[in-house]
Structure 1
Amino acid sequence: MHRAYKAVIVTVTHPRGAVAGRGQRGGNVSAKAREIVAEGSAQARLGAALRELRSRKGLSQARLGAAVHCSGDLIRRVEATERFPNRQLIEACDRVLEADGSLLELWVAAEEERRRATSPRKERLQPARFVPEASESLITRWVATDSPVLAELPSSDGLWVTDQDVLVAEATLDMFRRLDHAHGPGHFGAHLSSYIDSELSSLLSRPAAAPGVELDRTRIATGFLELAGYQAVDSGRPGWAQSHYRRALQLTARTGDRAYGGYLVGVNLSHLALHCNHPSIALRWSQAAVEVIDTAASPATRAAITAVSARSHARMGNERETTELLLQAEALLNSSVVGEEPPWISYFTRAYLADEMAHCLNDLGRAPSARTQVADALEGVGPDRVRRLAIDAALLASTWLRSGDIEQACAVGKAAVGYAARTSSGRSVERIARLLVDLKPHAGQTVSELDEYVRAVLPAAAITLSRS
């Protein structure tokens, strides 16, 4: 597969800022504009693309404004997303900057985004649908292409991204992660989206002061997008999660970070496919990730991807394949050395592997074995990981239900409800609602008491139950 699709892209930076390669000069500039991964809103990406193309032409905001018959301040405001431009302005900028229609494409996307934002609230709240085909071509290209590290160009504004900028962004990401572990997306999800639209977009649109800064910036930006994708899954918006993960994968491709890219494909996107009941797709993507990264990725990274493959087989009822893969994942994790793993996989401890094993065994109908693993998972998860505690406690309750112990299922289920009530996690609510559905045929005093407790403490689960 690598030989059939392998493509080599060569990008050379000339002193005056032109980009030479295959094809016409203008075509390369427009292609570069389409590659911009200034994450966040479509308007933010439009502003970042305008700034990038202007810088490559060596034009100040004032000079570009004069060329398109507007003020330099208007150009500044468009780049900073303080002002939404009209189509005529973007068409003029597209011509002057020889963008070959790329700016107009971004403007159309931004206009559509703005239209949706002003549409009726009910329409805006409809969750985006997960479409596997939307990621298939991107993953195929990622598998087949050895992506180049793009050279940085000098900025006419002189705004370089430094180590200090990256450290500030990293501290902010750590803060958002802690809030997410403890509280779920909820109110803080909006703050994360706002940060991505503004601060992160600006950080990505400026040149890095050194190659090391570029690599660190990409890693941190990818972490923001990964977290945003995870929160989108937790909020019941799988299509939005897919979009975040795709953009994160594009970022890692720019710097040739195959290990992190493999993690995004084999864990994030594959888990998303599994979450949306596409186990065969999840298996295909996780296998593709393993094929690409091979031993280039850390043991914990490969263990996490292998565990997703096992989950996929378990969902399809393939017990032998599941068992083999779980043993592989366990061996890989045992070979991991603490302190030598990349920061984005440091969470994947023995407790998290136990969680994956428990889900596999539960899907295969092996409740007692699943119960042993989920007990290990609960014991190893820190008290700040409230969402994980809620989900695993709900799973533990389900294993007791499968074994026919209704009293114990309700007792553990009550603990799961207590955890879920402390977080805004949609997946936690979904797990509690699913447990209540499974308990319905066993109506009795204990089940009724749990149902009443849910309605009092976690009404969202009761509402979800009434809609099912």
Structure 2
Amino acid sequence: MQRRAAGYTQEQLARLMDVDRTTVHRWEKGTATPQPWQMPKLARLLKVSATQLRSLLPGSSDTVDEPAVTPREDDGRTEVVHRHSQGEQTTAPVASPLAQADGLVADWLSVSSLIEGTATSLPVTEADIGAAEGMLDLFRQLDHTHGARQYQRQVSSYIDNELEALLRRQAADESVARRRARLTAGFCELAGYQAVDTGSPDQAQAYYRRALTLTAVTNDQAYSAYLVAVNLGHLALHCGEPETALRWAASAQAAAGTAASPATRAAITAVVARANARMRRETEATKLIIQAEKLLDTADHQDEPTWIRYFNHAYLADEVAHCLHDLGRAPAARSQLAEALSGVGEDRVRRRAIDAALLAATWLRTGHLDRACAAGRDAVAYAARTGSGRCIERVAGVLADLRAHDDYAPARELREFARVVLPEADGMAVTLSGGS
């Protein structure tokens, strides 16, 4: 069997493919077939061509045309290679998303030297990586619930100490080395996200660049595209630069092509829609929203990579709501926010705070002060439970807009409530409104 010849157990191959072990078992038994976007990566891992892979899979056909994204190491660009049943192939060059981040070569040199490890220490094993992955899951959950401020220092410390120690040791085998690089990229992604949350965009870029370097080491084009579009793209939107967000997200969309999973492509497409909506390009944004929804409808949760499984219809509804709000379509945005809030768990406190603040803003836009104050109170209560700078900014924006209605009792009561439980937002609202 080719899997064994390549040196993988079912569990090891499943981890590298970001699927369950039962999925690999079903592939080998012929009761399921890999998705088209999974085929290029599976072929690389099994060290066979795409044609050979199709012949190895029970019940698969050699006549299926499929695009694959193939990295070229000579010029830093990426080619979308279309393979046909007749053996012909055509290439169309597209810009690599990795070229968007400055300092990539320097990061590559520093990180790759660490990945080599040393032979003088005990090798890194699957158990070592599993323990570190457990810590990453824990830190992610704490971040969702409490925001970045309370645990940002611990995450940075873990990266600088425990992870650096793992990177300096020799990996037991190639599977462990790839899993370790992917783990470190995940930690850097989280640290970058936390830096955005605490208002440190330069630090966020540094972490995202390192994460991109590590995905290049593992040749994970889909995850690279996700980092460029969803992380760097959202950072650009947060910094008020929709043109930059559009450039990055569109580059990622082209580079990922159909080699990325449906949920990954939906998440990337949603960011392209967000950038267009921010620039008031309603027709293009609407078209992209529909495209993202169709992509997500085709996603199979079990077959999606583990790092994108969070992106369900509730998360897409949040992205759509932001688009509609930026386009001035408040009632439609509220409809999407209802779906976003109903589909997100109570433990996702930061997400709920941001969506409640956006809901309050939509009610304000249509002059419904009672409902705006009610949603604003929810936003304050949720934000007070986190250390999220973004939540405080969103709530402060609502409070600043409500200062024009200080003669209205519910607005005054909301401000007093915020002054007690979320004084940072109240103080920021005063500054935003130029009042006292």
CA contact (8 A) 2:117 2:168 kept: no
> Does residue 278 of structure 1 match 2:241?
yes
Q: What is the Cα deviation at residue 225 of structure 1?
A: 0.6
Q: Give the drift of 1:159.
A: 2.5
The amino acid of 2:349's aligned partner reads V
Q: Which has the larger radius of gyration?
A: 1
Q: Is the 8 A contact 1:430 1:464 kept in 2?
A: yes
Q: How far has the Cα of 1:238 moved from its partner? A: 1.1
Q: Distance in 2 between matches of 1:349 and 1:426?
A: 25
Report whether the alignment pairs 1:403 with 2:366: yes
Q: 1:266 aligns with which of 187, 204, 229?
A: 229
Aligned partner (choices 397, 418, 422) of residue 434 of structure 1: 397
Please list the CA deviations of residues 166-190 of structure 1 after superposition, one character each: whole Å capped at 9, or x if unmatched: 1011000011011111111122111
Partner of 1:459: 423
1:231 match: secondary structure = helix
User: Is the CA contact (8 Å cut-off) linking 2:274 and 2:285 kept in structure 1?
Assistant: yes
Aligned match of 2:295: 332
* CA-atom RMSD in angstroms: 2.3
Q: Which residue of 1 is the match for residue 125 of structure 2?
A: 162
2:320 equivalent to 1:254: no
Q: Which amino acid aligns with 2:125?
A: T
Aligned residue for 1:339, secondary structure, equals helix
Q: Using the alignment, how far apart are the partners of 2:365 and 2:103 within structure 1?
A: 40
The question of 1:384 aligning with 2:347 is answered: yes
Letter matched to residue 420 of structure 2: A
Give 1:141 shift: 7.6
Q: Distance in 2 between matches of 1:151 and 1:414?
A: 49
The worse-fitting range, judged by mean Cα deviation, of 334-343 and 306-315 is 334-343
CA deviation after TM superposition for structure 1 residue 287, in Å? 0.8
Aligned position for 1:102: none
Match of 1:244 in 2: 207
Distance 1:418 1:318, change over 3 A: same
**Partners of 1:154 and 1:404 in 2: how far apart?**
62
Deviation sequence 1:115-159 (CA, Å, 0-9, x none): xxxxxxxxxxxxxxxxxxxx86537989xx9xxx99975733043
> Structure 2 matches for 1:202-241, cutoff 5 A?
202-241=165-204
Provide the residue aligned with 1:450 in structure 2.
414
Alpha-carbon contact 2:273-2:288 (below 8 Å) kept? yes
1:201-232 deviation per Cα after TM superposition (whole angstroms, max 9, x unaligned): 11122222111112211111111111111111
TM-score normalised by length of structure 1 = 0.68
1:269-309 CA-partner distances (Å, limit 9, x unpaired): 01101110110110111111111111111110110000000
**Alignment check: 8 A CA contact 2:234 2:271 kept:** yes
Distance in 1 between residues matched to 2:423 and 2:246, nearest whole Å: 35
SS in 2 for 1:209: coil
Matches within 5 A, 1:194-205: 194-205=157-168
Take 1:414 and 1:278, find their aligned partners in 2: how far apart are those partners? 30
* Alignment counterpart, residue 303 of structure 1, candidates 266, 272, 285: 266
8 Å CA contact retained: 2:144, 2:348: yes
The structural deviation recorded for 1:255 is: 1.7
Counterpart CA distance in 2 for 1:437 and 1:138 is 36
Instruction: Report the CA distance shift for 1:138/1:411 in structure 2 as closer, same or farther (over 3 A).
Output: closer
Counterpart residue type for residue 141 of structure 2: R
CA distance in 1, matches of 2:273, 2:384: 31
Cα distance in structure 1, aligned partners of 2:157 and 2:419:
33
Task: Give the corresponding residue for 1:416.
Answer: 379
1:466 CA displacement: 2.9
The one-letter code matched in structure 2 to 1:402 is R
Aligned residue type for 2:74: V
Identity %: 54
Instruction: Look up the SS of the partner of 2:123 in the other structure.
Output: coil
The secondary structure found in structure 1 opposite 2:303 is: coil
Name the CA shift for 1:450/1:437 in 2 (closer, same or farther; >3 Å): same
TM-score using structure 2 length: 0.73
What's the offset of the Cα at 1:438?
1.4
